[in-house]
Amino acid sequence: MQLLSQFLRRQDTDEELMDLITTLTVACKEIALKLRQGALAGVLGTTDNTNVQGESQKKLDIISNEILKTVLLNHTLVAGVASEEESWPVPGNKDGRFLVLFDPLDGSSNIDVNVSVGTIFSILEAPEGEDFSTEQPYLQSGRKQLAAGYVLYGPSALLVLTTGQGVNMFTLSHTGDFLLTHENVQIPEETREFAINMSNHRHWEQPMRDYIGDVLLGADGPREKNFNMRWIASMVAEVHRVLTRGGIFAYPWDARTPKKPGKLRIMYEGNPMSMLVEQAGGLATNCYKNVMDVQPDDIHERVSVALGSSKEVEILLEYHKKGV
């Protein structure tokens, strides 16, 4: 079985990018360890703090964020980091080549019930001569990502990575190495499985309600086939299912927050997951266009997300075209 480093070398990955990815995995292994210990290490539960988006922070949100910051900002290649849990970007080495953006612990509302969570990351080139404590250098569209991925902390810990040459999965071994276990992952074009938080139905745009309405009619409706539904409430686990066996995952626009297109954040969730999905042959949209073509104006900007099996996402896009 191949080590992550051997695989990246085989793909002719840029040496410095390889170095950075290896460093990221060091932080994720540390997070995996904390998660494994759970209540024994006293790391479960909620703090009195809220993050910049007004969400209450779990102890493990803060611990994971600190681990990633410490490991990455001590690396000379890192010019700065931006995190879902930080109000502002944090500068690193001003001559560093990379910016790293991350959601330290996605799905953390599930921590206390021991459901799978994950670290999502996105790597960008650091533009020269910029101030990396400001938002500007980070506001690059998803198309500019050099690499993206996540580490899913589930029954096994898995690194799912793309450097723009397909998607590959690496399982954390008992020796602490990420070993290649799934090569060149491809999302099936068609699916009978959807994932959406149905409790928000009344707040969606009409095209989304129409689409889901027809899906629910199953074989008796215009789709002429029955669908199954899943909702883990942990995007990283949801996207992992889509990458593994296909499906459509959506967190759409919601009338309760009209100025915020959705719940998920473009820089830490939308863009990295979209790069993985597109690299695996799927589609990742905001219901109107590809997420990675959206130009972000704010480091914590939200985005509607509908991603997964290409033919299914195309059908969803048709409902939205009709609705305009």
Binding-site annotation, residues for substrate: 106-109, 197, 263
Which of ligand AHM, Mg ion, none does residue 253 bind to, with CB < 5 to 8 Å depending on kind? none
Residues 6+ apart with CB under 8 A from 43: 34, 35, 37, 59, 60, 63
Nearest CB to ligand AHM, comparing residues 238 and 278: 238
- Residue 122 structure tokens: 């996105």
Residue 274's closest CA among 245, 228, 299, 310? 310
Alpha helices in 74-228 (DSSP H): 206-217
Among the residue ranges 159-167, 229-237, 271-279, 310-318, the one whose residues contact ligand AHM (CB under 6 A)? 229-237
Scan residues 169-198 and list those touching ligand AHM (CB under 6 A): 197
Q: Mask 48-67, x = binds ligand AHM (CB under 6 A)?
A: -------x------------
Give the number of residues in contact with ligand AHM, rule: CB under 6 A: 14
Give the whole-angstrom CA distance, residue 165 versus residue 13: 9
Site for Mg ion in 92-131 (CB under 5 A): 103, 106
* Tokens 């509607």 sit on residue: 304
Half-sphere exposure of 168 (CA within 13 A, CB side): 20
Which residues make beta-bridge pairs with 307? 249, 284
Task: Tell me the angle at which helices 59-73 and 15-37 cross, rounded to the nearest 10 degrees.
Answer: 150
Calculate the dihedral angle through the C-alpha atoms of 263, 29, 160, 298, rounding to the nearest 10 degrees.
30
Q: Which does 263 bind (CB under 5 to 8 A by kind): Mg ion, ligand AHM, none?
A: ligand AHM
Size of the site for Mg ion (CB under 5 A): 2
Cα 153–Cα 155–Cα 156 angle in degrees, nearest 5: 65
Annotated binding site for Mg(2+): 84, 103, 105-106, 269
- Pick the piece of the chain touching ligand AHM (CB under 6 A) from 32-40, 66-74, 106-114, 138-146: 106-114
Contacting residue, 80, 91, 92, 107, with ligand AHM by CB under 6 A = 107
Among 191, 234, 309, 310, binds ligand AHM (CB under 6 A): 234
Residues that bind Mg ion (CB under 5 A): 103, 106
The binding site for ligand AHM (CB under 6 A) comprises 55, 84, 103, 106-109, 197, 233-235, 238, 251, 263
